[in-house]
Amino acid sequence: MASFVVPLPNRLRSFSVFASSNGAPPRDSNSQSQTVGPVILELPLEKIRRPLMRTRANDPNKVEELMNSIQEIGLQVPIDVLEVDGVYYGFSGCHRYEAHQRLGLPTIRCKVRRGTKETLRFYSDFLLLSNDS
List contacts with ligand ADP (CB under 6 A).
Answer: 62, 66, 69-70, 73, 75-77, 92-96
Residue number with CB closer to ligand ADP (75 or 82): 75
Looking at the Cβ atoms of 25 and 75, the one nearer to ligand ADP is 75
Q: Give the rounded distance of the alpha carbon of 29 from its chain centre.
A: 22
| 112 closest CA partner among 131, 130, 87 | 87
CB of 67 to ligand ADP, least distance (A): 9
Which amino acid would we find at residue 40? I
Query: DSSP 3-state assignment of 18?
Result: strand
Q: How far is the CB of 47 from ligand ADP (least distance, A)?
A: 17
> Cβ of residue 73: shortest distance to ligand ADP, in angstroms?
5
Cα–Cα distance measured from residue 48 to residue 42, given in angstroms and rounded to the nearest whole number: 11
* Residues annotated within a binding site for ATP: 93-96
